């Protein structure tokens, strides 16, 4: 079994981005990322602080618009439209989840597709489906980077993706399909999950349920990518995979924490620098 070290790969990507940002600054462009943070969800605030810190270390200008949980939808849209017009902002990120009175789809569709560094705008979703260059959601993009780093080629592999969210499962499916993997996607209504995972060469799971994937659900030598992150009552962070037992059967596996998590922020930075390079080309 080989451990896929997301932290090391992430650090390598960030190091490369530092050099790229310096070149952009030398040409008169400072990559800029704006984050909208609505409400007081502790996890959201933690994620945003991590993103701020990563931007600072990479040389990316970042600004956080903090808004109260009872803010109107119109005010959020107004703020996004202001950032759409700001030439110094290359990427706009809306920290999810949003309060229930807000139409998340409408908010995400308000973002200029050229600044949609999270890859959630229907324009970029369509580009991904068609295999065209655009912005790809950071977590699944990070998984693909990890596979590349470890010389794991999805072409021809039977891959089971567990979870069908717009943020992870669906874009993961499209990325793998674009690399000519045979992709089986499962979700909460799948009748017999084990039947699907057991025959897969690679299992990618991200649903937020501890120990969902057990060793009897994985075939010998499979590749296991655990995107899930769950906090137990003890305070311990675990994924969706029974790591201790599954790791004894697979060829590659990602740990939690230290696996896919660090890659998500690295890809956000990479997408922001990509947007800045596109601004340079447009100018």
List residues with catalytic annotation.
51, 95, 118
- Torsions phi, psi for 13 (to 5 deg): -65, -45
Beta bridge partners of 242: none
Burial class (CB in 10 A: 0-12, 13-18, 19+), 191: exposed
Mapped onto helix, strand or coil, the DSSP state of residue 265 is helix
- Which helix (H) or strand (E) segment holds residue 231: the answer is strand 230-231
**Distance (Å, whole) CA 282 – CA 103:** 32
What is the DSSP secondary structure assignment for residue 171, as one 8-state letter? H
What are the Cα distances from residue 110, in Å, to 48, 115, 253?
21, 11, 38
Would you give the end-to-end CA distance of the chain in angstroms?
A: 49
Distance CA 267, CA 124 (A): 15
Q: Tokens 């699944």 — which residue? A: 140
Q: Coil, strand, or helix at residue 233?
A: coil
Task: For the chain, give the longest Cα–Cα distance.
Answer: 56
Cα–Cα nearest to 39, from 79, 97, 92: 97
Query: Are the CB atoms for 115 and 275 separated by under 8 Å?
Result: yes
């Amino acid at each position: 079994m080989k451990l896929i070290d997301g932290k090391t790969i992430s650090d390598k990507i960030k190091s490369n981005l530092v050099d790229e940002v310096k070149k952009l600054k030398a040409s008169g462009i400072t990559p800029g990322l704006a984050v909208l943070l609505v409400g007081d969800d502790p996890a959201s605030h933690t994620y945003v602080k991590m993103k701020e810190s990563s931007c600072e270390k990479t040389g990316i200008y970042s600004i956080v618009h903090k808004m109260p949980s009872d803010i109107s939808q119109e005010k959020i849209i107004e703020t996004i439209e202001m950032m759409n017009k700001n030439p110094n902002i290359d990427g706009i990120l809306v920290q999810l989840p949003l309060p229930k009175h807000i139409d998340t789809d409408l908010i995400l569709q308000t973002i200029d597709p050229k600044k949609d560094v999270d890859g959630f705008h229907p324009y970029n979703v369509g580009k991904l489906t068609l295999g065209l260059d655009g912005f790809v959601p950071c977590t699944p993009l990070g998984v693909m980077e990890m596979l590349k780093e470890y010389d794991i080629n999805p072409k021809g592999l039977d891959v089971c993706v567990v979870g069908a969210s717009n943020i992870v499962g669906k874009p993961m499916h499209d990325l793998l399909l674009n690399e000519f993997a045979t992709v089986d996607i499962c979700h909460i209504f799948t009748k017999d999950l084990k039947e699907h995972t057991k025959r897969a060469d690679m299992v990618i799971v991200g649903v937020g349920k501890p120990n969902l994937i057990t060793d009897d659900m994985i075939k010998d030598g499979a590749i296991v990518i655990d995107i899930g992150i769950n906090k137990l009552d003890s305070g311990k962070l675990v994924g969706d995979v029974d790591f201790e037992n599954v790791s004894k059967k697979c060829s590659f596996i990602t740990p939690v924490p230290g696996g896919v998590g660090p890659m998500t922020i690295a890809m956000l930075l990479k997408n922001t620098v990509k947007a800045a390079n596109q601004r340079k080309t447009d100018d």
